[in-house]
Homo-oligomer: A and B are copies of this chain.
Amino acid sequence: MNYPSKLIENAVEEISKLPGIGKKTALRMALHLLKRDEKQTLSLSEALTAMRTKTQYCRQCHNISDDILCGICTNPKRDESVVCVVEDTRDVLAIENTSQFRGLYHVLGGIISPLEGVGPADLNIESLLSRITEKQSGDSAIKEIILGLSPTMEGDTTAFYLTKRLKPLNVKITTIARGIPIGGDLEYADEITLGRSIVSRIVYE
């Protein structure tokens, strides 16, 4: 495309590097910003720069944080004995939004995926193990590790690897339940999910 201005071309080029944004959408965004108040573009630029340069990762759980330790790890009301292992920050947000979990998290920062060249060494796995062994005695000992990974090939591989590493550490290992989603119709559930939900059926007490 022949952009009318080098400045636009540059902006379109940079915007279209974002995930899911093509050249046409990027151009629409650039023209939108041009029509709006200059302040909007400036505060967008500043927010992006500030986020990228100032965001830290929590030293304990590796979640995104404004400080050395994140708000969840420093919250005295959370249960330190249960740690939920997740792939990334979005999963923490998703679980937090349910308000059903009062423990802490451990963000792996990815998932084992040989196809994308991500191995165990690229993830925050060693720090999870040392987090467990360091606190093995005392009040703040970790008693349960919940694997909150997606039920995909990569998620299952990561879960398998983690259970192998976690077993010698003498903690209870659990995983979030797989089954028919609430409101889902049995008839339309896929066979694997339905099969698993029968095998790991829940006993009424």
Interface residues of A (CB under 8 A from B): 1-8, 10-11, 13-15, 17-20, 25, 27-34, 38, 40-55, 63-66, 70-72, 88-90, 92-93, 96-97
Contact = CB atoms under 8 A, between A and B. Distances in A.
28 contacts: A1-B93, A2-B97, A4-B70, A4-B71, A4-B89, A5-B65, A7-B66, A8-B51, A8-B55, A8-B64, A10-B47, A11-B48, A14-B40, A14-B43, A15-B44, A15-B47, A19-B28, A19-B32, A28-B90, A31-B89, A31-B90, A33-B51, A34-B51, A34-B64, A38-B53, A42-B49, A44-B45, A45-B46
Given A31-B88, A88-B31, A89-B31, A51 B17 contact: no
Nearest to A13: B47
B18 A32 contact: yes
A40 to B, nearest CB: 6
B90 A7 contact: no
A15 B8 CA distance: 18
A42 B90 CA distance: 23
Given A19-B28, A38-B52, A40-B17, A93 B2 contact: yes
A41 B47 contact: no
B55 A49 contact: no
Contacts of A33: 18, 48, 51-52
B2 A96 contact: yes
B93 A51 contact: no
Nearest to A42: B49
A33 B55 CA distance: 11
Given A31-B90, A32-B18, A5 B66 contact: yes
Contact of A4 (B19, B40, B63): B63
Contact of A45 (B5, B45, B93): B45
Contact of A7 (B10, B25, B42, B51): B51
